[in-house]
Structure 1
Amino acid sequence: MATTPSYMATTSYYHHPHSQLAPSYNLDPNSFSDDEVDRHSVGSPDGVQQLPMAVNGYGLAIPVEQNRLIHHYLANVLPIQYLLADSSIRDFMIKLIQTSSNARDAACMLSALHLRCMRYPAQSWDPNAIFNHVKGLLLDRRTSYTEGDAMAGLHIVSSFLFNGGRGEWQVFLDIACQYVQSMLDDPSFYGPEDALRRCSESTRFIIKTTMWFDVLASVTTQQVPRFLMTYRRLFGGQGAHIGDPVAGSPEISMLPVMGCENKIVLAIAEISNLACWKESQLQRGTLSIPELVRRGAEIEESLLMPSSPQPLAVPLQPGMYGPQALQHQMSPVYSHHHHHMGGPAGADTGLTESEVAARRRLTNDIFRASAKVYLHTVLSGDFPACPDIIAAVTETIEALQRVPMPGQAPTLHRSVVRSVVFGICISGCLTDDRGQRSFLLQMLERQQQESVGNIGEVKRLMQEVWRRRDAERHEHGNYYKPVDWRSVMLESNRDLLLLV
């Protein structure tokens, strides 16, 4: 049985159903008067005061005391929960809220947690009680799970991410995984591709999101991804990459939801599988280095080569970091159109197709380069002086430097940077270059002003890895033991970090 997250203090459940709502996510609630808070609440101007009680005549009644939490979730939490999803997510999320009490309660939990993280003094909803309520319902149902249960499980995973990315998130990700497995095993589908093409939009979103979490979770759990064989079947072909006509089949593509080409998703999964294979061979004393290198080269050559050779912007000069580099790398599409970036990512941002494509190219380039960092740490160990690791880290940072500055495109900057925490973390842990370290810290610190997320944990992990490696070098010179960032992660906190 999962334990209650430490960030949730125990009080009563619905003891103040008419509490005020928090301001929107980017605003500091402590800086507003009561009148100003009212102006920024979700009831005005974007929300309506009551959700419809039913969908097509079969929905659940939404308790009055939950209505404002649900509106806060839809207006202020959902846009930051899935930063790269398009506006259609709101429609099916409303339907799930109206048809599944677990999905509704879990959305309320996230909303209450967000209000608490914002430290809004007028809110008195207790996310702890809602968490225990949903947890009990989900974990007691150990046979089969519904779509609403799966979404509730993903909401609880989000609650751990909102509070730093540590905790027993694996228990709740497993609930979503069990639902996804039941969809993949459904005999009415001919296979995973047929399932993704024919299932509902909400089910498709749950399947893709669960798969993405499964892949990135494998980096810190050091386990073979649960759906590896499915990824090989779905993503082993050449389709669904930027610039490819097959990418026009969004049912199969991971780009619209995660900003990552299918083959890069498969590459990260295969690298985790290779890491597990290497460890098992080491334990048996049977590791063949040539075979390890052969497998790694196959992953890099078949899955991590760019689909399009054209760079997003002009190349960097060597050693250029920080604001100067970001100005140097500014793509014309952003300098001409950044005024469209004001709305929440994942909602109606007013982006043109070319701007959406550019945003996905940014995230995709970062994922590709950071996957190379991951691969070469598996092949060569955690040695920042390894030429292959240096090259991959440099490529990742150059991709990060192409992200426009917050002052030029604030929503785009946030949506990209917060979507590539994996790449920032692994590159940060594997660089000894002072300029690169400073640049990565600055990127994280720009995001850390927000009150939810795992940015703080990632920053602390990177700094502790740097401290230990610098101490090793100071004591032993150039001949020092490598610092395994996963070991540091586990030593500082027994809970694994989810790099999503």
Structure 2
Amino acid sequence: MSAPFARMPAVVSEISPSYNLHDACFEDEPENPPHADALIPVTVSGYGMPVIPTEQQELVHHYLYNVLPIQYLLADPSISRFMFRLLQTNSVARDAACVLSALHLQHTRYNSRMLNIDFNFKRLESSLLCPNRPYTEGDAMAGLHIVSTFLFNGGRGPWDLYLDIASQYVTSVLHDPNFYGPEDVLKRCSDSTRFIIKTTMWFDVLASVTTQQVPRFLEVYRLLFGHAGGAYIDDPLSGAEEISMLPVMGCENHIVLAIAEISNLAVWKEGQRRRGCLSVPQLKKYLDAPGTPPAVHPPRPARTAPASTRTGTAPTWRRRTRRSRSGGSDNDIFRASARVYLHTVLSGDYPSCPEIMASVAETLECLHQVPTNMPSVSRGVVRSVVFGICISGCLTDDPRQRTFLLKMLETQQGESVGNVSEVRALMESVWARRENSQGRPRDLLLLV
């Protein structure tokens, strides 16, 4: 298997462009960076803690100071405490962070410097990709770091192998008999475990759009994020801080659940189509019939709901008119983008579909609210919501909308790493194929 910085075929993904690192806008180091000790939390740097090997100290310092703050833009700064503790105590997590750090250095200030990434990555492969191995918290964090390296370099490569490592660990924690269920896990587990669980779940939801598979933790999302029989796209409630996805991912719980349910619907619909038994009237009835076969009243026009799970049932989720209490542009864009995705699944990827046109317009209206007079803020928002830009761009034939979305992506073009160029190339390819009448492009869901 090639190292993550090599140009790879096979899986192409932005699992997300919407995820904060995916279009990674990595900055150069400040002229006078603080001493490495300033980055080491006092509570975990005392006597008796493992010492980071000398040959890795520079890369660990660079990771903590330059990469971590922008790898997870919305996370609380206290993340550095448990992250450093993991780097101290787990060699596999440290190796993975060093690979990511070295890759960043190679793309920015140290292009001519050999950082021996190949060797470190091969060592990681031999450590992590072992069959029938029970994975630890450090292994899970290492897997997430490696997913980040693939996304950091444009989103190509076998990222799914490493996401599976984190997913296996999360599964083991969620099934720990010492906890009463997923909510109890998130409320009682350590900060580092909670962060790994939330990050893995976010990757899982957005990866399902790329892979067109049912999200691995769909039932968990329903337990955690559903309430009163369903999740609501416009509901202001996100639950306790330990449960909320908003502080880490910028997306409220009910929207995370909505995207997962839409992916589930897409899988069900495609399965019906392949078997030659898809009935649109049946599908419409099924959308508003939680827990029953598709044979009940049709939905109201403004109401939407998910399809089957692996067992063929699902709760309903609906729109509400109240706005999110967060007021954050990231969350609003995710909400509007989820509607674009939903109507694409329901009606097909037809840019002239009225519901798709309205949802794209709503997404662009949210994007217009990004404060362009504050470059640091606007760049951070754009990095977080490339999912919305990509899916809206692929589903619009309006030249003005296309131009606006391209300009948003251009704000990231000066960066030496990331996947913005891949997203732009996809959008332009979709437009060209449509204009050349080569049929409806199916590439849309391969990159979001």
What TM-score range do you get, normalising by the shorter chain? 0.7 to 0.9
Aligned mates of 1:469, 1:116 — CA distance in 2: 38
The residue that corresponds to 1:396 in the other structure is 363
Deviations 1:210-249 (A, max 9, x none): 00000000111010000011111111116999995x6462
Instruction: Write out aligned runs for 1:315-330 (5 A).
Output: none
Matched, 1:264 2:250: no
Q: Does the CA-based 8 Å contact 2:173-2:185 persist in structure 1?
A: yes
Q: Does the CA-based 8 Å contact 1:373-1:393 persist in structure 2?
A: yes
Aligned mates of 1:3, 1:457 — CA distance in 2: 20
State the SS of the aligned residue for 1:447. Answer: coil
2:319 maps to a residue whose letter is M
State the SS of the aligned residue for 2:37. Answer: coil
Post-superposition shift, 1:261? 1.1
Matched, 1:385 2:352: yes
2:409 maps to a residue whose letter is L
Structure 2 unpaired stretches of 5+: 9-24, 289-302, 307-314
The residue that corresponds to 1:132 in the other structure is 122
Q: 1:242 to 1:281 in 2, by over 3 A?
A: closer
Matched, 1:482 2:440: yes
The residue that corresponds to 1:475 in the other structure is none
Aligned mates of 1:56, 1:192 — CA distance in 2: 33
- Computed over aligned residues only, the root mean square deviation of the Cα atoms, in angstroms, reads 2.7
Aligned mates of 1:468, 1:214 — CA distance in 2: 30
290-299 or 176-185, which moves further after superposition?
A: 290-299
Post-superposition shift, 1:6? 5.1
Post-superposition shift, 1:452? 1.6
364-373 or 119-128, which moves further after superposition?
A: 119-128
Q: Does the CA-based 8 Å contact 1:254-1:260 persist in structure 2?
A: yes
The residue that corresponds to 1:452 in the other structure is 417
Instruction: Write out aligned runs for 1:281-320 (5 A).
Output: 281-294=272-285, 295=287, 297-299=303-305, 303=317, 305-306=319-320, 308-309=322-323
Post-superposition shift, 1:7? 2.5
Matched, 1:251 2:279: no
Q: 1:177 to 1:57 in 2, by over 3 A?
A: farther
The residue that corresponds to 2:27 in the other structure is 26
Q: Taking structure 1 as the reference length, what is the TM-score of the superposition? A: 0.76
1:115 maps to a residue whose letter is L
The residue that corresponds to 2:67 in the other structure is 77
Q: 1:463 to 1:258 in 2, by over 3 A?
A: same
Deviations 1:140-177 (A, max 9, x none): 26321000100000000000010001210000000000
Deviations 1:278-314 (A, max 9, x none): 011112222121232341743289646356348x9xx
Aligned mates of 2:111, 2:191 — CA distance in 1: 37
Aligned mates of 1:262, 1:421 — CA distance in 2: 19
Instruction: Write out aligned runs for 1:195-274 (5 A).
Output: 195-237=185-227, 244=236, 247=238, 249-274=240-265
Structure 1 unpaired stretches of 5+: 10-23, 28-36, 313-356, 473-479, 490-496
Post-superposition shift, 1:444? 0.7
2:104 to 105, 109, 114: 114
The residue that corresponds to 1:40 in the other structure is 31
Post-superposition shift, 1:428? 0.6
1:485 maps to a residue whose letter is D
Q: Taking structure 2 as the reference length, what is the TM-score of the superposition? A: 0.84
Q: 1:264 to 1:45 in 2, by over 3 A?
A: same
Q: 1:298 to 1:51 in 2, by over 3 A?
A: closer
Instruction: Write out aligned runs for 1:132-171 (5 A).
Output: 132-140=122-130, 142-171=132-161
Aligned mates of 1:367, 1:8 — CA distance in 2: 30
2:383 to 418, 434, 440: 418
Post-superposition shift, 1:445? 1.1
The residue that corresponds to 1:61 in the other structure is 51
Post-superposition shift, 1:57? 5.8
Aligned mates of 2:396, 2:192 — CA distance in 1: 40
The residue that corresponds to 2:428 in the other structure is 463
State the SS of the aligned residue for 2:366. Answer: helix
Post-superposition shift, 1:451? 1.4
230-239 or 250-259, which moves further after superposition?
A: 230-239
Aligned mates of 1:413, 1:270 — CA distance in 2: 29
Aligned mates of 2:419, 2:283 — CA distance in 1: 33
Aligned mates of 2:336, 2:233 — CA distance in 1: 15
Calculate percent identity across the aligned residue pairs.
57
234-243 or 156-165, which moves further after superposition?
A: 234-243
Deviations 1:401-421 (A, max 9, x none): 11111xx22222122111111
The residue that corresponds to 1:99 in the other structure is 89
State the SS of the aligned residue for 2:343. Answer: helix
